Amino acid sequence: MIYLIILNKVVIGCLTQLVGQEGVDMIKNMPDGEVTDEKISEITGSEIQIVRRTLYILYENRLAIYRRERNKESGWLTYLWKVDLHDIYLVLEVEMRKLSFNLQKRLDFERNNVFYICEDGNRFLFDLAAEENFVCPDCEKSLIYQDNGQLINALENRLEKMQAVLEEYV
Ligand SMILES: [Zn+2]
């Protein structure tokens, strides 16, 4: 379907966060044009609750719109849905900015602190380790200095990649 064309890996990841795998499966098989939730369920094979939940989340994120139509004979209202993923990049941008902000905070924390670690992997800031006389309060094994250079590199790499993506899309 049409949506598959613009759904790259990053977008799929973002969508999965929003609507889950079941929602993504539904979106991938969505028919074009305006349709009712029942029709979507019928065509995509997704359960009606999943369809409604997914449409609602998409609507909340401005990725779907609906139009109400009143049946002249029965007076019933019909909701006609249309999924429009054009704004997915806005959603994506907000998510990535949040993520990169948190990564930067973590990176600063790693850069500005000295860590001690025990054999079991419990990690302490220098001050706390000193307070405990460099003995782990859990396992009572000694705390040794941890070189977090590799972790810092990994965080830097992730941040760089994320910023590259942000620059590309914004
Ligand atoms: Zn320990």
The structural domains of the chain, ordered by start, are: 2-83 (1.10.10.10), 90-169 (no CATH)
- Ligand 1 centroid, distance to 106 Cα (angstroms): 23
- Ligand 1 centroid, distance to 122 Cα (angstroms): 5
- Ligand 1 centroid, distance to 125 Cα (angstroms): 13
Sequential pLDDT tens for the chain (170 residues): 444 444 577 778 888 889 999 999 999 898 888 999 999 999 999 999 999 999 999 999 989 999 999 988 888 999 999 998 878 878 878 878 888 999 999 999 999 999 999 999 999 999 999 999 999 999 999 999 999 999 999 999 999 988 887 787 65
- Ligand 1 centroid, distance to 137 Cα (angstroms): 7
In whole angstroms, what separates CA 31 from the centre of its chain? 25
| Distance (Å, whole) CA 151 – CA 147 | 9
- Ligand 1 centroid, distance to 53 Cα (angstroms): 45
**pTM listed for this prediction:** 0.60
| Distance (Å, whole) CA 98 – CA 103 | 9
- Ligand 1 centroid, distance to 153 Cα (angstroms): 25
99 within 8 A of 162, measured Cβ to Cβ: yes
